[in-house]
A and B are shown apart, each in its own frame.
Chain A
Amino acid sequence: MEDRINELTEQIVKRFKDSGFDVDAKEVSKRLKLLIFEFKVPESEAVRTVTNYLMKELDISREQLVAESPLVKIADITTPGKWVSLKAKVVQLWDATSPNVSQVGLIGDETGIIKFVIWAKAGKGEVEEGKSYLFKNVVTDSFGGRMQVNVNRSSQIVEIDEDVQLPPRELEVVGALIAIQQNSGLIKRCKLCNRTMTKDICPVHGKVEGYDDLRIKGVVDDGENYYEVILNEDNIRALTGIGLNEARKIAEEKLDRNAVLTELKTRLLGRYFRVVGTRGERYLIVREVEFLKPDIKTIAGEIL
């Protein structure tokens, strides 16, 4: 615990020193101890209180205290209670559920995405989705087992010109199609909500009219990972020449809609594919798919 006090003391002293002001480390340490040990104040609050006290004492404004916490990448945020600065893009804003919160959502840089909270008391301007900012002096925190960053009164948000890149959401996979699930092939969807119907029943709307669609829910596996993929009609036609009309024809000839699934399994299962798609919560939504055309001589040459 003493170590932690020393660490926090150093942080505060350094922040003032970097701004051109000398503060007494003993005084800082004493006040931190009082707040944290005696009054059980959370670390971040204690640091802020001591900082505010010193600013008043030295009669300096927040703007004069320019030195900022170390610039870090989101992937490096692993422990709560650290003062950091981030260059990040606002990925998504959620509805704030508490009046104490001004804005809440996700920000990201090229290493990851993290939740952020701007407290109403912080009195900061609003951020916009898709814009990039320098988040100065924000405090890391952990909530429900996940890391987040909090923007408080000591923080600063500055819009920047740079367009911060986000981690790649589009993924390229080379692997074998090792499974095609049952509810694939020529399926029926609900006319009202587009959900897949089983035996002409929509899980939400019951027995309603449906329309035909062609899709594959499958698993692409590269021996180290697996990816659940969804292929749409275009993807399937590109691979097999079977589109919605051809699929209907197969079903009519065989008097069995399942014949389409059997045909697709025969043509696609166990083959290798190159798949490019967007990773959703569970499925890789495929944009492009092709049979792998391996250059065996080159690949083998690299191994030998």
Chain B
Amino acid sequence: MNGRKREVARRLFAYEFNRSTHKIGGEDERSPVYVLTPTGMRCNRVFVVGVLLDKEETRPDTNFWRIRVSDPTGVFIGYVGRFQPDALETILEVEPPELVAIVAKVRLFEGETRNFASLRPESIAVVDSDVRDYWVCETARLTLERIKQMEERSSEDAELAWQIYNPDLEEYRTIVRQAVQSVVAEYGVVEEAKEKAAREEEKEEIEEIEDIDEFEEEFDFEEEEWDLSDILGE
């Protein structure tokens, strides 16, 4: 409250999320931090629906969990700890693979070579495939709208996204189409979708290992600071 507007939960696919490296705001403690995505969206909070592929305590008995959640375009990485009690409660109970809906704040970690976006869930709920399918369609529609705005260069953020990412919009359009096709093709066949996502995951994991090591080092270093800022800021 305090007259501060609530942040809208933005929709975007993992493919776009994982290519988001630019931070806006956060100069002082009170101003909110946004991640600018390649299609020119500012996000501070997101709503994501996907398959929880695995959960893993970062170190034994820390109650600090790293989760991996897949949508049809890629994998979101998230961190859940004791400062997100609602999300933690679900994570302790749920056994992957399972479809989940996540409301999360977006975090950007500064790596050696580039920045990495990750999720810090506020809440996690187990949902059914109807929710996932609608989310995919909704996210597709909103992403296509942003792509159109990028083409029209109709906002400051679109202009900024061109400067920073110079994205190949056709690539994003293809990803969106594939995502929608995947829910239509597998509509109602949840088990199959889960398995497929899990298989793809294994493949991607191998490719990602290098990045993730770097990512975790950064994370260990700054963890304490974020927890503090959060208590002060919210």
Chain A positions within 8 Å of B, measured between CB atoms, are 176, 178-179, 219, 221-226, 265-266, 269-272, 292-294, 296-297, 299-301, 303-304
Contacts and interface: CB of A to CB of B under 8 A. Distances in A.
Contacts of B100: 270
A301 to B, nearest CB: 8
B47 interface: yes
Interface residues of B, number: 37
Contacts of B219: none
Given A176-B101, A269-B101, A219 B125 contact: no
Top 6 A-B residue pairs of the complex, sorted by shortest distance between their CB atoms? A270-B101, A270-B125, A223-B11, A269-B125, A294-B134, A178-B103
Interface stretch (B56-64, B107-115, B135-143): B135-143
5 contacts: A176-B135, A265-B86, A272-B130, A292-B134, A294-B134
B123 interface: yes
A297 B101 contact: no
B114 to A, nearest CB: 27
Contacts, number: 93
Contacts of B134: 272, 292, 294, 296, 299
A221 B135 CA distance: 12
Interface stretch (B152-160, B178-186, B190-198, B221-229): B178-186
B76 to A, nearest CB: 15
A272 B129 CA distance: 12
Given A224-B142, A294-B130, A178 B180 contact: no
A265 B125 CA distance: 8
B201 interface: no
Interface string B79-110: 00000001000000000000011110000000
A264 to B, nearest CB: 11
Interface of B: 6, 8-11, 47, 49, 86, 100-103, 122-127, 130-131, 133-135, 137-142, 144, 176-177, 180-181, 183-184, 187
Contacts of A294: 130, 133-134, 137
A42 B9 CA distance: 48
Contacts of A269: 101, 103, 123, 125
A266 B125 contact: yes
A304 B141 CA distance: 10
A221 to B, nearest CB: 5
A269 B49 CA distance: 12
A43 B135 CA distance: 56
Nearest to A271: B131
Nearest to B177: A304
A60 B57 CA distance: 90
A303 B140 contact: yes
Contacts of A304: 177, 180-181, 184
A271 B127 contact: yes
A302 to B, nearest CB: 8
Given A272-B134, A296-B187, A223 B9 contact: yes
Contacts of B8: 221, 223-226
Contacts of A303: 137, 140-141, 144, 176, 180
A301 B137 CA distance: 10
Residue in B9, B124, B141 whose Cβ sees the most chain A Cβ within 10 Å: B9
A294 B134 CA distance: 7
Contacts of B127: 270-271
B146 to A, nearest CB: 11
A101 B154 CA distance: 47
Contact of A221 (B47, B49, B123, B125): B47
Given A178-B103, A226-B6, A304-B184, 9 more contacts: A176-B131, A178-B9, A226-B9, A265-B123, A270-B100, A294-B134, A303-B137, A304-B177, A304-B181
Contacts of B133: 294, 296
Given A178-B103, A223-B47, A270-B49, A300 B183 contact: yes
Contacts of B124: 270
A223 B126 CA distance: 20
Contacts of A225: 8
A220 to B, nearest CB: 10
Contact of B131 (A265, A270, A297): A270
Contact of B180 (A221, A266, A272, A300): A300
Nearest to B100: A270
A64 to B, nearest CB: 52
A297 B184 contact: yes
A179 B122 contact: yes
Nearest to A223: B11
